[in-house]
Structure 1
Amino acid sequence: MSTQLQGKKILIITSNTGIERDELVKPLEALRGFGATVTHASIEGGTTQTFVGDTEKDKTVDSDSKLAGLNAADFHALVIPGGTVNADTIRQDADAQALVKAFTDAGKTVAAICHGPWLLINAGVIAGKTLTSYPSVRLDLENAGAAKWVDEQVKECPANGWTLITSRNPDDLPAFNEAIAKAVSAA
């Protein structure tokens, strides 16, 4: 299994603070463990601050790149971690919104966990989709036109040529990471 993603490139995008530690670190480690080349890009580049919960600062993680100037054509999948502050910040970033649209327009895999689907709302890509999220995001998704919100560990929704993968919280990370690996290896 460690080589199932050899030659595949995955982009994880965040703001520079407020990222739920495990929702960034665990996909980075798992997808690299599956053999993918994983790039972590943040709005400003440089260092990102992770948190445990919404208030307890944890370790910092270096970004490989800024969001500006990245091209969806260079990657096979996009991953959006949660964390309330991270998700609320990145959803407002024009480069992040453009990347989401570019990935969906190109028919690629887009995965978001916890509060990460807020970016999908702002990018205008969830209308008619079935997905999951942190429970407090449910009404936002329904109001933005999601077909259905489900309380499931991971939800994969084929979406007009692209694949949408969503999960609820850090407890779902093993299933979330496996679903991303499976979708990318099949692409």
Structure 2
Amino acid sequence: MAALDGKKILVIATNYGVEQDEIVVPVDQLRERGATVTVAAQETGSIQTLVGDKDPGKTVDPDTTIAGVNAGSFDALVVPGGTINADTLRTDQQAVSLVSAFVEAGAPVAAICHGPWTLIEAGVVSGKTITSFPSLQSDLRNAGAEWVDREVQVDGGLITSRNPDDLPAFVDAIESALTA
């Protein structure tokens, strides 16, 4: 039996601009650990990932749309980064509402790199200790969070990491949150 058997994880992204490894690695590794992972995008078409915010990466086929999911059907939420993805996602009211619903339900919300922008928009970082891509420091502090430079930071149900180099610790922290 795998560690995450029976756990359902939602990953949300835009259809263009998500950092390749920040969606592909968690999806693959969480599935390998037994989780059922659903990828939801803004639209039904393929997700075009980017490498380093500029070079085209792999395409990912979403399972559904952000509008087509219910937070109550999942045990955790993952918000990958990529500057374009995160900047667009934080303006998507349905994505922001999902973050709020997971936090209100006490379910883990994991965001990496620029992903915490969506957490800021959802109003869930005040009083929390958060890490992210370094350029988000001021945004997080202005939203009432304490920013730290760590590969992974867990504060309550919020799990955050800085960049693709932190993915091993990020995925381990998601597993720990779901098996605690």
TM-score (norm 2): 0.98
Q: Deviations over 1:142-184 (max 9, x none)?
A: 01111x11000000001xxxx1000000000000000001101
| Corresponding residue of 2:39 | 40
Q: Deviations over 1:84-139 (max 9, x none)?
A: 00000000001001100110111100000000000001111111100100000110
Question: 1: CA distance between counterparts of 2:88 and 2:43?
Answer: 12
Q: Deviations over 1:15-58 (max 9, x none)?
A: 11001000000000110011000000011122100011011011
| Corresponding residue of 1:181 | 175
Q: Deviations over 1:65-96 (max 9, x none)?
A: 00003111100000000000000000000100
Count of aligned pairs between the two proteins:
180
- Pick from 164, 167, 180: which aligns with 1:170? 164
Q: Could you tell me which amino acid in structure 2 is paired with residue 153 of structure 1? A: E
TM-score (norm 1): 0.95
| Corresponding residue of 2:137 | 138
| Corresponding residue of 1:156 | 154
| Corresponding residue of 1:122 | 121
1:80 aligned to 2:74? no
The answer to whether the 8 Å contact 1:46/1:64 transfers is no
Question: 2: CA distance between counterparts of 1:149 and 1:94?
Answer: 25
Give 5+ residue unaligned stretches, structure 2. Answer: none
| Structure 1 SS opposite 2:68 | coil
Question: 2: CA distance between counterparts of 1:151 and 1:130?
Answer: 10
Question: 1: CA distance between counterparts of 2:105 and 2:71?
Answer: 8
Q: Could you tell me which amino acid in structure 1 is paired with residue 31 of structure 2? A: R
| Structure 1 SS opposite 2:44 | coil
Runs of 4+ in 1 over 2 A off after TM superposition: none
Give 5+ residue unaligned stretches, structure 1. Answer: none
| Corresponding residue of 1:24 | 23
| Structure 1 SS opposite 2:6 | coil
Taking only the aligned residue pairs, the percentage that are identical comes to 59
Q: Could you tell me which amino acid in structure 2 is paired with residue 155 of structure 1? A: Q
* RMSD (Å), alpha carbons: 0.8
